[in-house]
Amino acid sequence: MHDDDHHHDHDNRYTDMHARVKALETVLTEKGLIDPAAIDAIVETYETKVGPRNGARVVARAWSDPEFAEGLRRDATTAIASLGYTGRQGEHMRAVFNTADTHNLVVCTLCSCYPWSVLGLPPVWYKAPAYRSRAVIDPRGVLAEFGVMLPENKKIRVWDSTAELRYLVIPERPEGTEGWSEEQLAGLVSRDAMIGTGLAAVAGVAP
């Protein structure tokens, strides 16, 4: 939830490093040593495919293992670490579970705190001022823009990440997935579903 004591030294200290990386990228590009398009493709892969697979496996385990799900509710940091996912901005985690009555949405209103260890690189829109402000003021409208149309009677709960605590949304398990393996279930879980701006894919033919 929104935290008035919202510290972000965790992120801001990387500003100089980010600037150096961008400068190095510019020099290498001008010398013809790297292709910006290739860099963009690599970033896109880690942002939307490789990185979020960790979180998807956490969700799939929670769906298929009630004991793990309960541990995730009690102490998400420890439960996630038990699967081998630890690291920068994933030191202190809390899992919030979507239900038939409540949908969870994660934002970081003052910068872009984000659980890299389970979701990979943060998407550009997550860091944008428009998302960071409107997710709190008009979460239902923001979700609609992402194509998530929720019933009016479903509560939307917004969680504000900080440098001390980050959130992972556990989406509702789609119907028709009984007997699916964790690998199959993980294939239904997108990065956006774990932020709350998306839903788990509707089950059809097993992937």
Residues acting as catalytic residues: 108, 111-113
108 known ligand binder: yes
Residue 130's H or E segment, with its range, is: helix 129-137
Residue 111 annotated in ligand binding: yes
Say if residue 181 carries a ligand binding annotation: no
CA distance 174 to 128: 30
Q: 185 with 64: CB under 8 angstroms?
A: yes
CA 124 to chain centre: 12
Query: Residue 159 has what DSSP assignment?
Result: E
- What are the strands, taking DSSP E only, across the chain? 93-97, 102-107, 155-160, 166-170
**DSSP summary character for residue 111:** S
Q: What is the DSSP letter of 128?
A: S
Q: How far apart are the C-alpha atoms of 124 and 162, rounded to whole Å?
A: 18
The answer to whether 108 and 161 are in contact (CB under 8 A) is yes
Does residue 82 have a known ligand-binding role? Answer: no
The binding site comprises: 108, 111-113
The binding site for Fe(3+) comprises: 108, 111-113
